[in-house]
Amino acid sequence: MENIATIKFIDLDINREAYAIVRSDGSCIALCLTIKSHGDLEVALDKTGTASLLEALKNAIVYDAIKEPVVIKCKDIDMSDEALVIVRRHDTTVVVGLSLKSDGDMQVAMRKEDAQRLIDALLIALKGRSEEK
């Protein structure tokens, strides 16, 4: 898979360095969330799932509150098991979570500006070219 973007930010829930990493191989887009000293989780999204994630992130940035979390079905990075991406708004932060049956759950809380950088990286992945953030 080609690395599209590595986005560094501070997880606002626990005040630790975190990363969102977007990769693509043309057939799917991988989203990895990692928090320093807490490990990482990675999922694979098809183009429809990526479009749903983009819409959820855009809505989380624009609207002061999303009534319910947006849940997007996807696969673990090995494509062997179901996984979920969950996007919600909490106060002034955008919360993105990954849930994998075999590896558990992880969520990060980011500023709107960092969520916009993630949107930009996902759009680049859909178009098929790489860029470091």
Q: Tell me, what's the pLDDT at 20?
A: 98
Judge whether 73 lies within some domain: yes
Asked if residue 14 belongs to a domain, the reply is yes
| Mean pLDDT per 10-residue interval, the chain, length 133 residues | 96 95 94 90 96 95 79 94 94 94 91 97 83 44
Per the structure, the complete domain to which residue 40 belongs is given by: 2-127
Report d(CA 30, CA 28) in Å as an integer. Answer: 7
Q: How many domains does the chain have?
A: 1
CATH number at residue 36: 3.30.2450
> Is residue 133 situated within a structural domain?
no
In 3D space, the residue among 104, 105, 85, 84 whose CA is nearest the CA of residue 96 turns out to be: 85
pLDDT of residue 15: 93
Q: Residue 64: what pLDDT?
A: 66
* Cα dihedral: 47, 77, 69, 65 (round 10): -70
Q: What is the pTM of this model?
A: 0.91
Does a structural domain hold residue 132? Answer: no
Judge whether 110 lies within some domain. Answer: yes
- Please answer whether residues 98 and 83 qualify as being in contact, where contact means their C-beta atoms are separated by less than 8 angstroms: yes
CA neighbours within 13 Å on the CB side: how many for 91?
Answer: 5
Q: Looking at the chain, which runs of residues are DSSP E strands?
A: 2-11, 16-24, 29-35, 39-45, 70-76, 82-90, 93-100, 104-110
Predicted local distance difference test score (pLDDT) of residue 88: 94
